[in-house]
Amino acid sequence: MRGLIFWNLFAATCVVSANSLPPRNYDTHDYYAVHLSPSISPSDLAAHLGVTYEGKIGEIADHYLFKTLKQDNDVVQDAVEDLKRRRRKRELGSEAHPLDAVRFNQKQKLKPRMWKRSRIEPLTQRAGPPKGDVMAQQREIANSLDIKDPIFNDQWHLFNTQIQGNDLNITGVWLEGITGRNATVCIVDDGLDMDSDDLKDNYFAQGSYDFNDHVDAPKPRLADDRHGTRCAGEVAAGRNNACGVGVAYNSRISGVRILSGDISDVDEALAINYELQLNDIYSCSWGPPDDGRTMQGPGILIERAMVTAVQQGRGGKGSIYVFAAGNGAASDDNCNFDGYTNSIYSVTVGAIDRKNLHPYYSEQCSAQLVVTYSSGSSDAIHTTDIGTNTCTSSHGGTSAAGPLASGIYALVLEVRPEVTWRDIQWLTVMTAVPFDQPSDWQTTKIGKSYSHQFGYGKLDAYAIVEAAKTWELVKPQAWLYSPWMHVKQEIPQGDTGLASTFDVTEQDLKNANLERLEHITVTMNVEHTRRGDLSVELRSPTGVVSHLSTARRDDEAHAGYVDWTFMTVAHWGESGVGKWTVIVKDTKVNEHKGTFTDWRLRLWGECIDPTIQGLRPIPSASDDDDHDVTTSAAVHTTTVSIPTPTETVTSNPTDHIDRPVNQKPTETPLPSSTMPFEPPVTAAPEASASATGIPESFLPSPFPTFGVSKRTQIWIYGSLALILIFCGSLAIYLFLARRKRLRNASRDDYEFEMLDDVDDDEARQGLNGAAAGGKRGKRRAGELYDAFAGESDEELFSDEEEYRDEKPEREGGVYDEKRGLRGEGSISDGDETASGSGSGGSRRLR
Ligand SMILES: *[C@@H]1O[C@H](CO)[C@@H](O)[C@H](O)[C@H]1NC(C)=O
Ligand SMILES: *[C@@H]1O[C@H](CO)[C@@H](O)[C@H](O)[C@H]1NC(C)=O
């Protein structure tokens, strides 16, 4: 008996120690996150600085939290700078000092309060009577599974009786007895009503915590704390007499509450990998504002927390992050401007509606992996709500899509708990189902269809679980970093783009131990007086095009891109060998101009030899410190000629008479005729001299072209449902795009003459990611490239303006150039320190 008590005490202590930091009180105290080298203990540093040591920052190695009473100063930074000053003045020698152990320090700042939106919840108005035989089939399935949940029949995303096939294709998985047992999904949100009849049996208290009110149970406490509970219901609502069922109705569901109050980066870092050995999947239906003007990512602490989870979570298999793509499509927003969705560590999930149509809100980007069902076409997701037995029929936005993916991944984990975080992404790529909707579908190197709007298609629960059963696990992750490519040329405006290339050889990949590609990231610096005018695309050696960045009509920021990292999943499975081209465009001819400064390519993928492959070092701001170093290589300029675009208008789907149908890429587009060579605009003299006579043609394989000028091709249509909550009436505005322009696939084809292609052995040093950290190479070509005619985004969207039911948020436009904007972390370790949050701005529910 006594033994049992001791055991319980011991167990309780263990649980507490997983969250050993005392609650923060930002009203009375300041908090400092410090990364220390092992040469000093945190208590010794605290004694030296006269601050209080609070504890380790969760699972992030060697990171500690200190506090002082509230004051204006940054005591850690002041001490670090004071030491530097004294050394400079030779008041102190270079002998060891306790502060030398400080590798990074950051005074914590509260981020602006989270902000919620209701625009994503259209009034339910289900259309048409379901077919009798399909209803009988549904009844039969429900009977076999003993599902008696009252709103199961309304949960069209699980079994669609109105449009057959437009659902998760999940009942076959359940009939095999696969329901998410032993998998845990953690909803990182505004709480989770663990007292709901629909959630209480699956609620997993150990994986849950409230970082807003600093209590164990993440109970929704504010009037509008409904979002997390609704997401939780989608994943794990029980099979019972309350509401409906979740995708993984026998999985465990936990909640981490962060969206209901002000938090700091440390809080978010702790939350985002909370109990990483117990929680398997973190479902995040939020992010920086989706206003089309924000460019913001996780602060370096949060990024480190995610890397920690991916490397150590789930017993080393890696925590699985699912992020909603964002709801800013109507404001031109693009999920590559969001550092959470464009992280290689997160699965970015966009939305389609019950008709497989693109809902007006769902953002596109090259980081988007997959889509699944959510609101639109007069219906939404039916799920659990807060309360003992309350349901909602109006859960929507990409917020509602993300958790459905999380639930499906829980099913995968039940079948194959040993899959890694990258296997989840592979399985998604291999089994997602492309569907017949107009978009910029292009066929990738491995024969998959990819669209920036729909990723690799829609998730199919049956297909992914089936594939998971026999899936051969991928080998560990390897990477190859290019040196910084210094371009430093003005970007021409309008139809012309500035292109820069980097060649990867087979030997480079061997040296990097990299066998085949998964994610590609491009970190870049562009100076510009109006960020929204810019667009960037990446062309792989095989001709697959990623639109890394698209123009955003409302993005007035007097900044370009500052060490921002864009990501693409469109090159999944390519070998990587050959010429990679980045093309920066200034899409608008106006007074705003800019310069393409530099860029760096990072290829991520499966390694060749797992026995020599290590883990990626924890990300540090100094990863990108080296780009100011001058290199010796010349800048080469090349003109690229583009055939005159041909406009094609194709037929429209019957249910959207004005919606154009984009063509699938033709198999063998004809290469365009080569235009007369034009003299390089700003070529370095030696480059021009050595260039002649080494023409090289670049004939990308077929790709349908959209992208920047994708805007011009995305047929804006869409219905915006305005919920007039207070009077309870609804108005639906149908907005139909007027323009019908479609460029055929061949318009993207071009040839260009390379003026010079000097050998780049030198550049190649430091290619191997494992060793590339501080290496630098030489700069490579910057080529002028004549792109297709751009079209004003403003024009395209102008009609829509009046229908937007959301006022642009002032605070939403806040971006932090020095920190929040930086994808790879801008707060450097070592002697450069920073105070304040790594990511200003608020989160928005999606
Ligand atoms: C959907 O599930 C059924 C089994 O219920 C299966 O036969 C079918 O192949 C699945 N669809 C896809 C695309 O895998
Ligand atoms: C659940 O997980 C535990 C520990 O990981 C394992 O021992 C057990 O076999 C699993 N149960 C099922 C039903 O898979």
Q: Do the domain assignments include residue 733? A: no
Task: Give the model's confidence band at 750: pLDDT under 50 very low, under 70 low, under 90 confident, else very high.
Answer: very low
Site to substitute for ligand 2 among 178, 181, 182, most atoms within 8 A of C-beta: 182
Is the minimum distance from the CB of 169 to ligand 1 under 6 angstroms? yes
Given a cut of 90, whether residue 328 has pLDDT beyond it is yes
Query: Which residue spans within 125-194 are E strands per DSSP?
Result: 184-189
Examine the domain organization and report whether 436 and 585 are in the same domain: no
| Residue 498 dihedral angles phi and psi, to the nearest 5° | -105, 120
Which residue, judged by its Cα, is nearest atom 2 of ligand 2? 182
Atom from ligand 2 closest to the CA of residue 414: 14
Examine the domain organization and report whether 453 and 491 are in the same domain: no
Q: How far apart are CA 431 and CA 414, in angstroms?
A: 17
Residue 628 pLDDT? 52
Residue 463 pLDDT? 98
Residue in the structure block whose two tokens are 């190695």: 61
Residue 20 pLDDT? 76
Is the minimum distance from the CB of 172 to ligand 1 under 6 angstroms? yes
178 C-alpha to ligand 1 centroid (Å) = 15
466 C-alpha to ligand 1 centroid (Å) = 9
Given a cut of 60, whether residue 281 has pLDDT beyond it is yes
Is the minimum distance from the CB of 15 to ligand 1 under 6 angstroms? no
Over residues 121-148, mean pLDDT? 81
Structure tokens at 351: 């939305």
- Return all residues near 580 (Cβ < 8 A) that are at least 6 apart: 482, 501, 502, 503, 504, 538, 539, 540, 541, 601
168 C-alpha to ligand 1 centroid (Å) = 10
Which residue, judged by its Cα, is nearest atom 8 of ligand 2? 182
Examine the domain organization and report whether 566 and 606 are in the same domain: yes
Over residues 256-265, mean pLDDT? 95
Tell me the percentage of the chain whose pLDDT exceeds 70: 69
Q: Do the domain assignments include residue 32? A: yes
Q: Select from 679, 699, 725 the last residue of a domain.
A: 679
Q: Which residues are catalytic?
A: 189, 227, 399
Q: Do the domain assignments include residue 717? A: no
Mean model confidence pLDDT for the chain: 78
Q: Select from 623, 654, 679 the last residue of a domain.
A: 679
Residue in the structure block whose two tokens are 């920066």: 584
CA proximity to 62, closest of 299, 301, 271, 265: 301
Given a cut of 80, whether residue 559 has pLDDT beyond it is yes
423 C-alpha to ligand 1 centroid (Å) = 21
Over residues 247-268, mean pLDDT? 96
Task: Give the model's confidence band at 79: pLDDT under 50 very low, under 70 low, under 90 confident, else very high.
Answer: very high
Residue 626 pLDDT? 60
Amino acid at 819: R
Ligand number nearest to the C-alpha of 431: 1
Beta strands 844-845; 286-287: pairing state: antiparallel
Ligand number nearest to the C-alpha of 413: 2
Residue 709 pLDDT? 35
Which residue, judged by its Cα, is nearest atom 13 of ligand 1? 463
3-state class of 214 per DSSP? coil
Atom from ligand 2 closest to the CA of residue 182: 1
Examine the domain organization and report whether 422 and 492 are in the same domain: no
Examine the domain organization and report whether 483 and 334 are in the same domain: no
Over residues 362-369, mean pLDDT? 97
Over residues 139-152, mean pLDDT? 98
Is the minimum distance from the CB of 460 to ligand 1 under 6 angstroms? yes
CA proximity to 187, closest of 256, 234, 290, 246: 256
pLDDT tens digits, 679-690: 233 333 333 323
Which residue, judged by its Cα, is nearest atom 1 of ligand 2? 182
pTM: 0.78
163 C-alpha to ligand 1 centroid (Å) = 16
Contact (CB, 8 A) for 584 and 534: yes
Query: Which of 4-18, 47-61, 194-208, 678-692 shows the lowest mean pLDDT across its residues?
Result: 678-692
Is the minimum distance from the CB of 431 to ligand 1 under 6 angstroms? no
Which residue, judged by its Cα, is nearest atom 3 of ligand 2? 182
- Return all residues near 842 (Cβ < 8 A) that are at least 6 apart: 111, 112, 113, 114, 115, 288, 289, 811, 812
Given a cut of 50, whether residue 125 has pLDDT beyond it is yes
Ligand number nearest to the C-alpha of 177: 2
Q: Measure the CA dihedral 50/51/57/63, to 10°.
A: -30
Examine the domain organization and report whether 419 and 287 are in the same domain: yes
Contact (CB, 8 A) for 365 and 328: no
Examine the domain organization and report whether 528 and 613 are in the same domain: yes
Q: Where are the alpha helices (DSSP H) in 108-195?
A: 132-145, 171-175
Beta strands 346-352; 368-373: pairing state: parallel
Examine the domain organization and report whether 520 and 548 are in the same domain: yes
pLDDT tens digits, 425-441: 999 999 999 999 999 99
Domain count along the chain: 4
Is the minimum distance from the CB of 181 to ligand 2 under 6 angstroms? yes
Q: Do the domain assignments include residue 508? A: yes
CA proximity to 484, closest of 343, 623, 684, 367: 623
Beta strands 281-284; 184-189: pairing state: parallel
Which residue, judged by its Cα, is nearest atom 9 of ligand 1? 463
554 C-alpha to ligand 1 centroid (Å) = 43
Residue 625 pLDDT? 60
| Residue 127 dihedral angles phi and psi, to the nearest 5° | -105, 140
Structure tokens at 639: 């003109």
Residue in the structure block whose two tokens are 């100063």: 73
Task: Give the model's confidence band at 143: pLDDT under 50 very low, under 70 low, under 90 confident, else very high.
Answer: very high
Residue 111 pLDDT? 87
Which residue, judged by its Cα, is nearest atom 5 of ligand 2? 182
414 C-alpha to ligand 2 centroid (Å) = 9
**564: domain CATH number?**
2.60.120.260
pLDDT tens digits, 368-379: 999 999 999 999
Over residues 322-332, mean pLDDT? 96
Amino acid at 689: A
Task: Give the model's confidence band at 110: pLDDT under 50 very low, under 70 low, under 90 confident, else very high.
Answer: very high
DSSP secondary structure of 260-319: TS---HHHHHHHHTTTTTT--EEEE-EES--SSS--B---HHHHHHHHHHHHHTGGGT--
Is the minimum distance from the CB of 37 to ligand 2 under 6 angstroms? no
Which residue, judged by its Cα, is nearest atom 12 of ligand 1? 463
Q: Select from 630, 662, 679 the last residue of a domain.
A: 679
Residue 393 pLDDT? 95
Q: How far apart are CA 186 and CA 402, in angstroms?
A: 12
Amino acid at 818: K
Is the minimum distance from the CB of 462 to ligand 1 under 6 angstroms? yes
Q: Do the domain assignments include residue 594? A: yes
582 C-alpha to ligand 1 centroid (Å) = 39
Residue 115 pLDDT? 54
Site to substitute for ligand 1 among 372, 460, 465, 469, most atoms within 8 A of C-beta: 460
Ligand number nearest to the C-alpha of 277: 2
Examine the domain organization and report whether 557 and 450 are in the same domain: no
463 C-alpha to ligand 1 centroid (Å) = 6
Which residue, judged by its Cα, is nearest atom 4 of ligand 1? 172
Q: How far apart are CA 310 and CA 321, in angstroms?
A: 9
Which residue, judged by its Cα, is nearest atom 4 of ligand 2? 182
Residue 132 pLDDT? 81
CA proximity to 664, closest of 355, 444, 360: 444
Examine the domain organization and report whether 455 and 538 are in the same domain: no
Residue 124 pLDDT? 53
Which residue, judged by its Cα, is nearest atom 11 of ligand 2? 182
Is the minimum distance from the CB of 722 to ligand 1 under 6 angstroms? no
169 C-alpha to ligand 1 centroid (Å) = 6
Q: How far apart are CA 264 and CA 300, in angstroms?
A: 12
pLDDT tens digits, 216-226: 999 999 999 99
Beta strands 320-324; 281-284: pairing state: parallel
Long-range contacts of 387-392 (CB under 8 A, 24+ apart): 387/193, 387/196, 388/195, 388/196, 388/197, 389/196, 389/197, 389/198, 389/242, 389/243, 390/196, 390/243, 391/150, 391/151, 391/242, 391/243, 391/244, 392/226, 392/230
Is the minimum distance from the CB of 315 to ligand 2 under 6 angstroms? no
**209: domain CATH number?**
3.40.50.200
Task: Give the model's confidence band at 721: pLDDT under 50 very low, under 70 low, under 90 confident, else very high.
Answer: very low
Given a cut of 80, whether residue 762 has pLDDT beyond it is no
Is the minimum distance from the CB of 430 to ligand 1 under 6 angstroms? no
Ligand number nearest to the C-alpha of 141: 1
Given a cut of 90, whether residue 422 has pLDDT beyond it is yes
Query: Residue 372's beta-bridge partner residues?
Result: 351
Examine the domain organization and report whether 10 and 145 are in the same domain: no
Structure tokens at 637: 């300029």
Which residue, judged by its Cα, is nearest atom 6 of ligand 2? 182
Q: Do the domain assignments include residue 91? A: yes
Site to substitute for ligand 1 among 145, 167, 460, 462, most atoms within 8 A of C-beta: 462
Site to substitute for ligand 1 among 167, 169, 408, 456, most atoms within 8 A of C-beta: 169
385 C-alpha to ligand 2 centroid (Å) = 30
Task: Give the model's confidence band at 691: pLDDT under 50 very low, under 70 low, under 90 confident, else very high.
Answer: very low
Which residue, judged by its Cα, is nearest atom 9 of ligand 2? 182
Q: Do the domain assignments include residue 807? A: yes
Q: Do the domain assignments include residue 705? A: no
3-state class of 131 per DSSP? coil
| Residue 276 dihedral angles phi and psi, to the nearest 5° | -70, -10
pLDDT tens digits, 499-547: 999 999 999 999 999 999 999 999 999 999 999 999 999 999 999 999 9
Ligand number nearest to the C-alpha of 457: 1
462 C-alpha to ligand 1 centroid (Å) = 6
Is the minimum distance from the CB of 174 to ligand 1 under 6 angstroms? no
Examine the domain organization and report whether 504 and 417 are in the same domain: no
Is the minimum distance from the CB of 182 to ligand 2 under 6 angstroms? yes
Atom from ligand 1 closest to the CA of residue 172: 5
Burial class of residue 794 in the structure, from the number of CB atoms within 10 Å of its CB (0-12 exposed, 13-18 middle, 19+ buried): middle
CA proximity to 481, closest of 525, 445, 523, 515: 523
Ligand number nearest to the C-alpha of 171: 1
b/e 699-718 (16+ beta carbons within 10 angstroms → b):
ebbbbbbbbbbbbbbbbbbb
663 C-alpha to ligand 1 centroid (Å) = 27
Atom from ligand 1 closest to the CA of residue 466: 14
3-state class of 232 per DSSP? helix
Atom from ligand 2 closest to the CA of residue 181: 13
Ligand number nearest to the C-alpha of 173: 1
Residue 128 pLDDT? 62
Given a cut of 90, whether residue 44 has pLDDT beyond it is yes
Domain of 381 in residue numbering reads as 132-471
Atom from ligand 1 closest to the CA of residue 433: 13
